[in-house]
C-alpha cells in the first residue's frame, strides 16, 4: 500500500480506480508561413469556437455548481475578445509570419507573465485564466479532444493540475474524485469540486505514473490517498462512505421542518442566488427565501448597459417564481473583482477599496435609477427587499433612500404598479458600517452582514490572495465581535439582522450566531439542509452563556 498526502478540499470518501489524466503534448512549429491572412482567419475561427465553448461551459457550470462558479466562464469569454490579447496574436502572425498556434501560445505566455508580475493579487490570479483561454484556442486549432482523456469508466483522475474548464467539461457520472500535484484550496477548480460534492486532494507531491489503473481511496477527512489499500482499511473506509451517504439521505427528511433549536428559538434559513437559474435549487433545498440576490450578474451577462425592461424581467421572474417567499435583492455591486468593459471604469491600484458598489450608484444616478425602477416594478409580483452594498456612512443610505422615494413618485405618476411594502436594508461589510451600526439601524429596515468583505477589511487581508491563508481568519475575535455588535444594535432599534457571507454556512459557528441572536442565515442552496440540521440540534440554553462569556473574557498577556 502507498499513501499520498496533500490538502483536502472536501470532507468525503472516494473509492475507485486511478486514471492518469495527461494532456496531449502537441508540437508547435516556429517555422514561417507564407499566407499570413489565412493564419489570421484560422485564429479568428478558433477564437469564435472558443467563445462558444465558454458559453456552453457557463451553462453547464450553472446547472451543476451555481452562478458564482459559472461566472468564471463568462469572464473567460470576455478575455477571449480582449483587444490587447487579440491584437498581440495577430501582430505575431503578421509581423513574424508565424502560424496561429505559435502566435496564440506566445501571446498567451507573454500576457500571463505580465499578470503574474503585478503586485495586485487579483490581477496575478488572471495569469491562470489567460493560460486557460489560450489553451482553449490551441486545442481547437490542433483538433485536440481533451474530453476523451477522461476515459469511459468511473475513476479517480490524477493530474498535474486541472483548469476550471477541464473540471466542468468532465462527465460527472464518471468522475469519482480527483488528485492533483499542484493547485490551491482557493482556486476555481477547488471551489468547483466543493460545489459539486467531488472529493479531491490537491498539492499531492507523491503522485506516481505507475498509479494508473490501481485501486485507491481518497480520504478527504485525513487529506490523503491510499493506493491499493489493505482489505481491512478498504472495508473501514467503505463503511465511512456509506455513513456519509446515509447522512445525506437523512438531510432530505428535513424538508418542510422548521429551523427551530431544541429550546424553541427559530431562525430563518435563506439562500444566496445569482439569478433565475438558481431558483430550482432554492425550491429543491427548501430554503425559506432568498437573503442575497446578486444582481451584478445581470450586468456581467450584457455587452452594454442592461435596460430597465431587461432588468425588470430578470427580477420579476425570480420574485414571481418564489412568491410568497421573501427575496432580498442586492443592488449593483460592480467593481473590485467584477468589472464590465462598457462601464469604462479606470484602472485602480487597489480596486477592493476603490470605485465600486454604492459608490458607483450614487455618482452615476441615471444608472442607479434604472435599476431601482426595475426593482420597484418587480416588487408588485411578490415579496421583495432591497439592500445597498458597501455602505460606510449615514449620508450614503439617506441619498439612496431619497432616490427610492423619487422612483416611487415617478411610478405612481405613470400609473405603474409597485408594492408599498418593500423593505430597505444595507449590507454591513466594512468596519465603519459595523461600528456605526447603531446610527445606521435608525435609517433602514434590516441589516445583512457580508462576512467575506467584513473579514477582509477588518483584518486588512485580501481574501483572494492564496498566500494569506493563515492570516485570513473569519473566526478572528475582531470579526465575531463586530458581528455581535451589529446584531445588538439592530435589535436595539427594532430591525432584523442576517448573515449572507460564506460564514453563514460555517457549521462550527452556527451556535455562536444563535447565541448572538442573528435572525437569518443566507447560504448556498445546497447548504440549507445541513444548516437546518445544525440549528435543530442546538440548545442555546447550554451554549449561549458560555459563548458570550468566552468572547467577553479578559485577555491575559503572555
The C-alpha angle with vertex 357 and arms to 324 and 351, in degrees rounded to 5, equals: 140
Phi-psi region of 335 (alpha: psi -120 to 50; beta: other; left: phi over 0): left
Strand order through the sheet with 200-202: 2-5, 224-227, 215-219, 13-20, 155-159, 175-180, 200-202, 7-8
Same-domain check for residues 331 and 404: yes
Residues contacting residue 117 through CB under 8 Å, at least 6 positions apart:
none
Same domain, 135 and 173: no
- The answer as to whether 557 is a domain residue is no
CA 356 to CA 138: how far, in whole Å?
35
500 with 455, same domain: the answer is: yes
| Same domain membership, residue 184 and residue 74 | no
Among 270, 224, 273, 217, CA closest to 14: 217
Instruction: Pick the closest to residue 272 from 464, 69, 536 (CA basis).
Output: 69
Q: Tell me which of 204, 230, 256 is where a domain ends.
A: 230
Q: Which domain holds residue 361?
A: 267-552
CA-to-CA distance for 190 and 185, rounded, in angstroms?
Answer: 6
The structure's pTM equals: 0.66
Whether 527 maps to a domain, the answer reads yes
Answer yes or no: do 473 and 376 share one domain: yes
Question: What backbone torsions phi and psi does residue 382 show, to the nearest 5 degrees?
Answer: 175, -155
- Looking at the structure, tell me whether residues 220 and 133 fall in a common domain: no
Residue 235 lies in a domain: no
- Residue finishing a domain among 207, 230, 253: 230
The count of domains in the chain is: 3
- Report how far apart, in Å, the C-alpha atoms of 45 and of each of 145, 211, 273 are: 17, 39, 35
Handedness of CA 390, 394, 399, 403 (dihedral sign): positive
End residue of a domain, out of 118, 143, 168: 143
Burial of residue 344 (number of CB atoms within 10 Å: 0-12, 13-18, 19+):
exposed
Pick from 288, 300, 284, 299: nearest CA to 327: 288
Residue 340 included in any domain: yes
pLDDT confidence of residue 24: 66
Q: Is residue 317 part of a domain?
A: yes
Distances (CA, A) of 367 to 8, 254, 306, 360, 492: 44, 43, 9, 9, 35
**Alpha carbons 479 and 389: distance in angstroms, whole number:** 18
CATH number of the structural domain spanning residue 71: 1.10.274.10
Q: What is the pLDDT of residue 266?
A: 96
Please check whether residue 384 is in contact with residue 422, taking contact to mean a CB–CB distance below 8 angstroms.
Answer: yes
| Domain CATH for 459 | 3.20.20.60
**Same domain, yes or no, for 287 and 326?**
yes
> Which active-site residues does the annotation give?
188, 500
CA distances from 136 to 87, 129, 167 (A): 18, 11, 13
Residues 332 and 465 in one domain: yes
Per-residue pLDDT of the chain (558 residues; tens, 9 = 90+): 889 898 888 788 999 999 888 776 667 888 889 999 999 999 999 999 999 988 888 887 777 666 666 777 888 888 898 888 999 999 999 999 999 999 999 999 998 888 777 666 556 667 778 888 998 999 899 887 766 666 778 899 888 887 777 777 777 778 888 888 887 665 666 766 776 778 888 889 988 888 989 999 999 899 999 999 999 999 999 998 888 888 878 788 899 999 999 999 999 999 998 888 788 888 888 999 999 999 888 887 788 899 999 999 999 999 999 999 999 999 998 876 667 788 887 887 777 788 888 998 999 999 999 999 999 999 999 999 999 999 999 999 999 999 999 999 999 999 999 999 999 999 999 999 999 999 999 999 999 999 989 999 999 988 767 677 778 899 999 999 999 999 999 999 999 999 998 899 999 999 999 999 999 999 988 889 999 999 999 999 888 888 888 888 877 766
Q: Are residues 183 and 287 in the same domain?
A: no
User: Percentage helix, strand, coil, to 5, in the chain?
Assistant: 55, 15, 30
Q: Answer yes or no: is 544 within a domain.
A: yes
Instruction: Report if residue 246 sits inside a domain.
Output: no
Residues 208, 334, single domain; the answer is no
Q: Is residue 31 part of a domain?
A: no
Cell of 30: 516556429
End-to-end CA distance of the chain: give it in Å, rounded.
46
Q: Does residue 102 contact residue 365 with C-beta atoms inside 8 Å?
A: no
- pLDDT score of 352: 76
**Alpha-carbon span 341 to 339, nearest angstrom:** 7
Same domain, 330 and 342: yes
Contacts of 91 (CB under 8 A, 6+ apart): none
Q: Are residues 331 and 408 in the same domain?
A: yes
Amino acid at each position: 500500500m502507498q499513501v499520498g498526502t496533500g490538502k483536502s478540499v472536501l470532507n468525503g470518501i472516494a473509492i475507485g480506480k486511478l486514471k492518469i489524466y495527461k494532456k496531449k503534448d502537441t508540437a508547435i512549429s516556429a517555422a514561417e508561413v507564407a499566407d499570413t491572412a489565412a493564419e489570421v482567419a484560422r485564429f479568428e475561427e478558433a477564437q469564435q469556437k472558443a467563445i462558444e465553448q465558454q458559453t456552453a461551459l457557463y451553462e453547464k457550470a450553472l446547472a451543476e455548481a451555481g452562478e458564482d462558479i459559472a461566472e468564471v466562464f463568462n469572464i473567460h469569454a470576455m478575455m477571449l475578445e480582449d483587444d490587447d490579447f487579440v491584437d498581440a496574436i495577430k501582430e505575431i502572425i503578421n509581423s513574424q509570419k508565424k502560424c496561429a498556434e505559435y502566435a496564440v501560445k506566445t501571446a498567451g505566455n507573454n500576457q500571463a507573465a505580465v499578470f503574474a508580475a503585478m503586485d495586485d493579487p487579483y490581477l496575478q490570479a488572471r495569469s491562470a485564466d489567460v493560460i486557460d483561454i489560450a489553451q482553449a484556442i490551441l486545442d481547437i486549432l490542433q483538433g485536440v479532444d481533451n474530453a476523451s482523456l477522461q476515459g469511459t469508466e468511473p475513476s479517480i483522475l490524477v493530474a498535474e493540475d486541472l483548469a476550471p474548464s477541464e473540471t466542468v467539461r468532465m462527465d460527472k457520472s464518471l468522475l469519482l474524485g480527483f488528485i492533483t500535484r499542484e493547485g490551491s484550496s482557493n482556486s476555481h477548480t477547488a471551489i468547483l469540486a466543493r460545489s459539486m460534492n467531488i472529493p479531491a486532494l490537491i498539492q499531492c507531491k507523491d503522485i506516481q505514473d505507475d498509479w494508473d489503473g490501481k485501486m485507491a481511496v481518497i480520504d478527504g477527512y485525513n487529506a490523503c490517498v491510499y493506493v491499493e489499500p489493505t482489505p481491512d482499511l478498504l472495508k473501514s473506509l467503505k463503511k465511512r462512505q456509506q455513513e456519509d451517504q446515509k447522512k445525506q439521505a437523512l438531510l432530505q427528511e428535513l424538508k418542510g421542518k422548521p429551523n427551530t433549536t431544541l429550546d424553541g428559538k427559530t431562525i430563518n434559513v435563506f439562500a444566496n442566488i445569482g439569478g433565475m437559474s438558481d431558483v430550482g435549487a432554492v425550491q429543491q433545498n427548501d430554503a425559506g427565501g432568498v437573503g442575497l440576490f446578486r444582481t451584478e450578474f445581470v450586468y456581467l451577462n450584457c455587452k452594454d448597459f442592461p435596460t430597465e425592461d431587461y432588468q425588470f424581467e430578470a427580477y420579476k421572474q425570480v420574485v414571481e417564481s418564489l412568491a410568497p417567499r421573501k427575496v432580498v435583492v442586492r443592488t449593483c455591486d460592480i467593481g473590485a473583482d467584477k468589472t464590465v468593459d462598457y462601464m469604462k471604469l479606470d484602472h485602480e491600484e487597489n480596486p477592493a477599496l476603490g470605485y465600486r458598489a454604492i459608490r458607483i450608484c450614487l455618482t452615476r444616478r441615471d444608472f442607479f435609477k434604472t435599476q431601482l425602477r426595475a426593482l420597484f416594478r418587480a416588487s408588485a409580483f411578490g415579496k421583495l427587499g432591497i439592500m445597498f452594498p458597501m455602505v460606510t456612512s449615514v449620508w450614503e443610505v439617506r441619498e439612496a433612500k431619497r432616490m427610492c422615494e423619487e422612483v416611487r413618485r415617478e411610478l405612481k405618476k405613470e400609473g405603474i404598479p409597485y408594492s408599498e411594502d418593500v423593505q430597505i436594508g444595507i449590507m454591513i461589510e466594512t468596519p465603519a458600517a459595523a461600528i456605526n451600526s447603531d446610527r445606521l439601524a435608525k435609517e433602514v429596515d434590516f441589516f445583512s452582514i457580508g462576512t467575506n468583505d467584513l473579514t477582509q477589511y477588518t483584518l486588512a487581508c485580501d481574501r483572494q490572495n492564496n498566500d494569506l491563508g493563515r492570516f485570513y481568519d473569519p473566526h478572528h475575535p475582531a470579526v465575531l465581535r463586530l458581528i455581535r455588535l451589529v446584531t445588538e444594535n439592530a435589535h436595539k432599534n427594532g430591525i432584523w439582522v442576517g448573515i449572507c457571507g460564506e460564514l453563514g454556512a460555517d457549521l462550527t459557528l452556527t451556535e455562536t450566531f444563535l447565541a448572538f441572536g442573528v435572525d437569518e442565515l443566507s447560504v448556498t442552496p445546497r447548504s440549507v439542509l445541513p444548516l437546518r440540521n445544525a440549528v435543530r440540534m442546538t440548545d442555546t440554553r447550554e451554549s449561549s452563556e458560555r459563548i458570550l462569556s468566552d468572547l467577553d473574557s479578559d485577555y491575559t498577556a503572555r
